[in-house]
């Protein structure tokens, strides 16, 4: 009697790190191997898209992947069934499709080829995926192909133009160019910002029965209709008029209002919110966050347990939580903290049309696996990120925090009646029930003064002192990696998988630099951004890019034909490139000859562009290695020592204006100084957009550039 041969299965994943994690879940009839990411791509030597024949992409095997594919083909020959188990997103679907082509699985008629996906690398998730094996989703593949082709077209059409007009080694990208423009627009907004003066007025009151003074802030006055009217103090004169008018005033508590407010628990992490919170709490860059999260997702060696995947898939727009994970979290919270800490009502999740696929939020694979229990097995970075994800998820399933709030309104009635009745307010909150804050604090609450429980309208109070303060409005802050990710997400630009690579690319190209957490444009970035805005306004238009993301979603949903998107995109792009080649002047950012003579060989030195800006170099290199600092003077004398102000570069390539007498003289300005003196105080004027502004905020003189008449800020 013939004995039936045992079926042999092959599971192909992306990352070698997943192999050990998954292998322990499957029996001896399963072989697990890794593709190490993509195995085919467009060629680097050319665009690789056949424009003349329906924009067909011309894929080739990635250099260095031949041996790996040969090994996979041997495993395929032995297997009866092949499971393509790459990541559960468009990129993963495309990798599976490329694997199928590279391994010629279509030709293997005697073998079954299936696609499986799992949101977490756990035994239950992996075995369930085998039961629900499916065919490749060509809509997802086509969405990824379209993104890749669009990005290739932008890069290979525009980058050579930048090489010709600026310098070699530069690049343009469909999403990176928009991100660069957003950073540039923010810097323009900051540089043209004119501070506006405003004042605050605080008052200290003594309240009967209280040892501590009551600190209140000026609110406004009682209007002609007898109702409170808010007043914003703009000048010292306004502020002192109120102070002087209330010197002999009588004060009384006009109103005490007590109420209760709740603070809802946060939603679990998406890719974007994880990157933002990891930046705020852990000071991680977006790239570092994704690198460490990938390790936690693929599996970490845990003492006594082997390789364990600690979190679910890390590239997601969704805040959805599976029923099983929800039930597990509820049981854990009830047992660990009590039923009163359990979220009783299902959270309302924002429905976002841009959410990609049907992923879950980022959460721990097992909520009972406490961070402290695995700390010894994790690196410091892994532990801190896992702890953040664990706390956020548990908190998202917990009840709201409750506060008692007290608002007190104090009225000051002037003795002589020269001014209306003036109002001051003070507010405080007292925690009644901590709820989710038992586990996780999003932001520290503002500390408010504690108010006595017995405070009411009968409590006698008297004025102790006034504290008037001058302030100036501040411009919008520079982008950080976290705030740029938030802005990209809010405007629908890019997807979870693109945020970190986009920022990493423009940092690597030195278009921007990061100082502390802030992102600043370099001189090179300004040049590239200027060219992109002038020659390719559509490409760097955030709305256009966001609309393209919507079209990609339409392709993934099977509602839009992918070739149609490319057919509509390429001709306009190519036409813009041809026009730019004719009209754009070459940017003299390197090798511009100067009158400076090289003292070593007598040649005219040229301006070169290095990582930290411009410098003078001898064109006789390599025979002559002479270099000198390049001082770009602006024709303005230093207000401190009288020497020339010159353009300087920070160590990271950010432009500023400093004194030629540095380091003895410490004058510096981020805005360009003007040769014109302030007509009001005689001080230095700065160029801000189309206006000149006195550097002395106290003076506040402002005028339009070229105008004779000035104005007060």
- Distance from C-alpha of 250 to C-alpha of 239, rounded to nearest angstrom: 18
Measured from the Cβ of residue 580, the count of other Cβ atoms closer than 10 Å reads: 19
Nearest in space to 11 (alpha carbons), one of 102, 112, 98? 112
3-class secondary-structure state, position 483: helix
In the prediction, which pLDDT does 663 show?
Answer: 83
Q: Kindly report the CA angle at 499 between 496 and 504, in degrees rounded to 5?
A: 145
Q: Enumerate residues 6+ apart whose C-beta is below 8 A from 374.
A: 300, 302, 308, 310, 383, 386
The listed range with the strongest mean pLDDT (121-135, 607-621, 682-696) is 121-135
Length of the chain: 713
Measured from the Cβ of residue 635, the count of other Cβ atoms closer than 10 Å reads: 9
- Distance from C-alpha of 128 to C-alpha of 87, rounded to nearest angstrom: 16
Nearest in space to 9 (alpha carbons), one of 22, 88, 104? 22
Is residue 327 within 8 Å of 275, Cβ to Cβ? Answer: no
Nearest in space to 400 (alpha carbons), one of 366, 429, 368, 440? 440
pLDDT higher than threshold 80 for residue 590: no
- Distance from C-alpha of 428 to C-alpha of 406, rounded to nearest angstrom: 5
pLDDT higher than threshold 70 for residue 449: no
Lowest mean pLDDT among 165-179, 259-273, 439-453, 492-506: 439-453
Is residue 325 within 8 Å of 311, Cβ to Cβ? Answer: no
| Cβ-count burial 236-245 (b if 16+ within 10 Å, e if not) | eeebeebbeb
Name the fold adopted by 197-264+402-472. Answer: Topoisomerase I; domain 3 (2.70.20)
Task: Give the residue carrying structure tokens 């300005």.
Answer: 669
pLDDT higher than threshold 70 for residue 333: yes
More confident residue, 556 or 688: 556
* SS3 of the chain: helix, strand, coil, percent, to 5: 35, 25, 40
Render pLDDT for 135-180 as a digit per residue (tens, 0 to 9).
Answer: 999 999 999 999 999 999 999 999 998 888 777 778 889 999 999 9
- Distance from C-alpha of 246 to C-alpha of 206, rounded to nearest angstrom: 16
In the prediction, which pLDDT does 456 show?
Answer: 87
pLDDT higher than threshold 90 for residue 4: no
What pLDDT band is residue 654 in, cutting at 50, 70 and 90? confident
What radius of gyration, in Å, describes the C-alpha atoms of the chain? 32
What pLDDT band is residue 706 in, cutting at 50, 70 and 90? low
Q: β-strand 60-61 against 306-308: which pairing, if any? A: unpaired
In the prediction, which pLDDT does 123 show?
Answer: 94
pLDDT higher than threshold 70 for residue 261: yes
Q: Kindly report the CA angle at 523 between 517 and 529, in degrees rounded to 5?
A: 90
3-class secondary-structure state, position 566: helix
Name the fold adopted by 149-192+477-583. Answer: Topoisomerase I; domain 2 (1.10.460)
Is residue 12 within 8 Å of 76, Cβ to Cβ? Answer: no
pLDDT higher than threshold 80 for residue 569: yes
Ranges in the chain annotated CATH 1.10.460.10: 149-192+477-583
pLDDT higher than threshold 50 for residue 351: no
More confident residue, 589 or 524: 524
Q: Does domain 9-136 have CATH number 3.40.50.140?
A: yes
- Distance from C-alpha of 329 to C-alpha of 342, rounded to nearest angstrom: 9
pLDDT higher than threshold 50 for residue 545: yes
What pLDDT band is residue 688 in, cutting at 50, 70 and 90? confident
Task: Give the residue carrying structure tokens 């209709």.
Answer: 225
H or E element, residue 426: strand 422-433
Nearest in space to 425 (alpha carbons), one of 412, 414, 410? 410
How far apart are the two ends of the chain, measured CA to CA in Å? 100
pLDDT higher than threshold 60 for residue 214: yes
Is residue 89 within 8 Å of 359, Cβ to Cβ? Answer: yes
Q: Enumerate residues 6+ apart whose C-beta is below 8 A from 428.
A: 405, 406, 448, 449, 450, 451
| Mean local confidence (pLDDT), 260-284 | 95
Question: Which residues are part of the catalytic machinery?
Answer: 313
3-class secondary-structure state, position 162: helix
Structure tokens of 642?
A: 């009288």
Ranges in the chain annotated CATH 2.70.20.10: 197-264+402-472
What pLDDT band is residue 710 in, cutting at 50, 70 and 90? very low
The listed range with the strongest mean pLDDT (151-165, 288-302, 435-449) is 288-302
pLDDT higher than threshold 70 for residue 133: yes
Q: Kindly report the CA angle at 688 between 682 and 691, in degrees rounded to 5?
A: 70
Q: β-strand 300-302 against 306-308: which pairing, if any? A: antiparallel
What pLDDT band is residue 370 in, cutting at 50, 70 and 90? very high
Phi, psi of 301 (to 5 degrees): -70, 115
Q: What is the CATH number of domain 285-396?
A: 1.10.290.10
Own/partner long-range contacts of 482-488 (Cβ < 8 Å, ≥24 apart)? 482/275, 482/276, 482/279, 482/280, 482/286, 482/517, 483/276, 484/179, 484/182, 484/183, 484/519, 485/272, 485/275, 485/276, 485/286, 486/272, 486/276, 487/182, 488/179, 488/182
Nearest in space to 633 (alpha carbons), one of 672, 604, 607? 672
Is residue 645 within 8 Å of 687, Cβ to Cβ? Answer: no
Ranges in the chain annotated CATH 3.40.50.140: 9-136
pLDDT higher than threshold 90 for residue 524: no
Q: Enumerate residues 6+ apart whose C-beta is below 8 A from 524.
A: 166, 170, 509, 510, 511, 589, 609, 653
Ranges in the chain annotated CATH 1.10.290.10: 285-396
| Mean local confidence (pLDDT), 432-450 | 78
Structure tokens of 376?
A: 């010894």
Render pLDDT for 30-68 as a digit per residue (tens, 0 to 9).
Answer: 999 999 999 999 999 999 999 999 999 999 999 999 999
Phi, psi of 469 (to 5 degrees): -135, 140
| Mean local confidence (pLDDT), 541-546 | 93
Under DSSP, the state recorded for 436 is G
Structure tokens of 157?
A: 């059409």
What pLDDT band is residue 1 in, cutting at 50, 70 and 90? very low
Q: What is the dihedral of CA 528, 531, 534, 535, to 10 degrees?
A: -120
| Mean local confidence (pLDDT), 534-547 | 92
In the prediction, which pLDDT does 711 show?
Answer: 45
Phi, psi of 17 (to 5 degrees): -65, -25
Nearest in space to 404 (alpha carbons), one of 256, 218, 217? 256
In the prediction, which pLDDT does 98 show?
Answer: 97
């Amino acid at each position: 009697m013939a004995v039936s041969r045992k079926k042999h299965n092959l599971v192909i994943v992306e990352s070698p790190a997943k192999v050990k994690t998954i292998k322990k879940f499957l029996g001896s009839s399963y072989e697990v191997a890794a593709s190490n990411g993509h195995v085919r791509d467009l060629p680097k030597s050319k665009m690789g898209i056949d424009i003349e024949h329906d924009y067909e992409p011309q894929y080739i095997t990635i250099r260095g992947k031949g041996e790996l594919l040969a090994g996979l083909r041997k495993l395929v020959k032995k297997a009866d069934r092949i499971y393509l188990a790459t990541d559960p997103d468009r990129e993963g679907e495309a990798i599976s499709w490329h694997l199928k082509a590279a391994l010629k699985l279509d030709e293997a008629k005697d073998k079954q080829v299936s696609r499986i996906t799992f949101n977490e690398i756990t035994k239950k998730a992996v075995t369930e995926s085998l039961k629900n094996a499916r065919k490749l989703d060509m809509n997802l593949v086509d969405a990824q192909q379209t993104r890749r082709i669009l990005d290739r077209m932008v890069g290979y059409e525009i980058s050579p133009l930048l090489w010709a007009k600026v310098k070699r080694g530069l690049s343009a990208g469909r999403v990176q160019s928009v991100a660069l423009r957003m950073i540039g627009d923010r810097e323009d907004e900051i540089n043209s910002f004119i501070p506006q003066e405003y004042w605050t007025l605080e008052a200290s009151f003594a309240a009967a029965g209280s040892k501590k003074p009551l600190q209140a802030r000026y609110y406004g006055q009682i209007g002609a209709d007898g109702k409170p009217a808010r007043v914003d103090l703009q000048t010292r004169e306004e502020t002192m008029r109120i102070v002087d008018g209330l010197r002999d005033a009588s004060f009384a508590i006009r109103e005490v209002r007590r109420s209760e407010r709740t603070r809802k628990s946060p939603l679990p992490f998406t890719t974007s919110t994880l990157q933002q919170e990891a930046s705020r709490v852990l000071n991680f860059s977006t790239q570092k966050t994704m690198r460490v999260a990938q390790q936690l997702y693929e599996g970490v060696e845990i003492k006594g347990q082997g390789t364990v995947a600690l979190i679910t898939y890390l590239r997601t727009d969704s805040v959805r939580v599976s029923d099983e994970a929800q039930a597990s979290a509820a049981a854990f919270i009830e047992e660990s903290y009590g039923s009163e800490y359990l979220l009783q009502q299902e959270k309302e999740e924002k429905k976002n049309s841009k959410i990609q696929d049907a992923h879950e939020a980022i959460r721990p694979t097992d909520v009972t696996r406490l961070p402290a229990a695995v700390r010894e097995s994790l690196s410091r970075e892994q532990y801190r990120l896992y702890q953040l994800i664990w706390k956020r998820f548990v908190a998202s399933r917990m009840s709201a925090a409750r506060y008692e709030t007290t608002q007190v309104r104090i009225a000051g009635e002037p003795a002589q009646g020269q001014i209306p009745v003036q109002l001051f307010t003070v507010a405080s909150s007292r925690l009644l029930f901590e709820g989710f804050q038992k586990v996780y604090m999003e932001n520290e609450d503002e500390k408010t003064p504690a108010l006595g429980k017995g405070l009411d309208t009968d409590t006698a109070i008297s004025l102790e002192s006034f504290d008037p303060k001058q302030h100036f409005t501040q411009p919008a802050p520079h982008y950080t990696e976290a705030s740029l990710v938030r802005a990209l997400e809010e405007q629908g630009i890019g997807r979870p998988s693109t945020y970190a690579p986009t920022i990493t690319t423009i940092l690597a190209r030195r278009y921007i630099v990061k100082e502390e957490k802030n992102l600043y444009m370099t001189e090179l970035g300004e040049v590239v951004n200027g060219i992109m805005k002038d020659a390719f306004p559509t490409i760097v238009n955030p709305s256009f890019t966001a609309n393209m993301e919507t079209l990609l979603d339409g392709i993934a949903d099977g509602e839009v034909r992918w070739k149609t998107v490319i057919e509509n995109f390429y001709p306009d792009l190519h036409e813009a490139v041809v026009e730019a080649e004719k009209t754009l002047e070459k940017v003299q950012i390197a090798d511009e000859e100067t009158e400076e003579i090289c003292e070593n060989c007598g040649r005219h030195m040229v301006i070169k562009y290095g990582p930290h800006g411009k410098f003078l170099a001898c064109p006789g290199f390599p025979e002559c290695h002479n270099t000198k600092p390049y001082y770009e003077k602006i024709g303005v004398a230093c207000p401190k020592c009288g020497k020339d102000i010159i353009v300087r570069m920070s160590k990271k390539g950010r432009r500023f204006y400093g004194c030629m007498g540095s380091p003895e003289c410490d004058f510096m300005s981020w805005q360009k100084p003007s040769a014109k003196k302030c007509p009001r105080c005689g001080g230095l004027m700065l160029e801000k957009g189309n206006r000149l502004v006195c550097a002395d905020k106290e003076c506040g003189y402002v005028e339009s550039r070229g105008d004779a008449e000035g104005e007060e800020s």
